[in-house]
Amino acid sequence: MIKPHGSEELMPKIVNTDEEKAALLESAKTMKKIKVSSAAAANLVMLGAGYFTPLSGFMDKKDVLSVANEMKLSNGLFWPTPVVNLTSQKIDFKEGEQIALIDPNVDEDQIIAIQTVNKIEKLDTDDIDHIIKKVFGTNDKEHPGVSTFYDQGNTLISGNVDVLNFSYFEKDFGETFRTAMQIRSSIESKGWNNVVAFQTRNPMHRAHEELCRMAGERVNADGILIHMLLGKLKPGDIPADVRDSAIRTMVEHYFPKDYVMITGYGFDMLYAGPREALLHAVFRQNCGCSYLIVGRDHAGVGDYYGAFDAQDIFDEIPSDALQIKIFKADHTAYSKKLNKVVMMRDVEDHSKDDFVILSGTKVREMLSNGESLPKEFARPEVAEVLMKHYMQD
Q: Give the span between the Cα atoms of 170 and 178, in whole angstroms.
A: 8
Q: Give the span between the Cα atoms of 159 and 385, in whole angstroms.
A: 44
The CATH code of the domain at 172-265+271-392 is 3.40.50.620
pLDDT score at 108 = 87
| pLDDT average, residue stretch 16-30 | 96
Phi, psi dihedrals of residue 390, rounded to the nearest 5°: -70, -35
| pLDDT average, residue stretch 102-126 | 96
| pLDDT average, residue stretch 81-86 | 98
Q: Which of 149-153, 256-260, 382-386 comes out lowest in average pLDDT?
A: 382-386
* 227-255 per-position pLDDT tens digit: 999 987 677 778 888 889 999 999 999 99
Q: Does residue 183 surpass a pLDDT of 90?
A: yes
Domain with CATH 3.10.400.10 in the chain: 18-167
Share of the chain above pLDDT 70, in %: 99
Confidence (pTM):
0.94
The closest of 9, 28, 81 to 267, measured between CA atoms, is: 81
pLDDT score at 52 = 98
Do the beta carbons of residue 173 and residue 243 sit within 8 Å?
no
Do the beta carbons of residue 177 and residue 240 sit within 8 Å?
no
370 band by pLDDT with thresholds 50, 70 and 90: confident
Q: Does residue 217 surpass a pLDDT of 90?
A: yes
Beta bridge mates, 229 = 265
> What CA–CA distances, in Å, run from 382 to 126, 247, 251, 280, 358?
47, 7, 10, 26, 16
* 291-311 per-position pLDDT tens digit: 999 998 899 999 999 999 999
Do the beta carbons of residue 69 and residue 31 sit within 8 Å?
no
HEC profile of 86-134: EECCCCCCCCCCEEEEECCCCCCCCEEEEEECCEEEECCHHHHHHHHHH
73 band by pLDDT with thresholds 50, 70 and 90: very high
Domain 18-167: homologous superfamily in CATH: Sulfate adenylyltransferase (3.10.400.10)
pLDDT score at 202 = 83
Q: Which residues contact 237 (CB under 8 A, 6 or more apart)?
A: 201, 202
Phi, psi dihedrals of residue 33, rounded to the nearest 5°: -125, 150
Tell me the average pLDDT of the chain.
Answer: 94
Domain with CATH 3.40.50.620 in the chain: 172-265+271-392
Q: Does residue 122 surpass a pLDDT of 80?
A: yes
Residue-wise DSSP of 150-208: HHT-SEEEEEEEEE---TTHHHHTTTTB--HHHHHHHHHHHT-SSEEEEEESS---HHH
> Over the range 203-221, which residues count as b (16 or more CB within 10 Å of their CB) and which as e?
bbbbbbbbbbbbbbeebeb
Strands 291-294 and 340-343: unpaired
pLDDT score at 128 = 98
Do the beta carbons of residue 278 and residue 241 sit within 8 Å?
no
Our measurement of the distance from residue 297's CA atom to the centroid of its chain's CA atoms, rounded to an integer in Å, reads 15
Higher-confidence residue of 346 and 71: namely 71
> What is the rounded (10 degree) CA torsion for 52, 179, 168, 280?
50
| pLDDT average, residue stretch 275-287 | 98
Q: How many residues make up the chain in this entry? A: 393
pLDDT score at 393 = 61
Catalytic residues: 201-202
pLDDT score at 357 = 84
Walk across the sheet containing 291-294 and list its strands: 260-265, 223-229, 195-200, 291-294, 325-328
Q: Does residue 49 surpass a pLDDT of 80?
A: yes
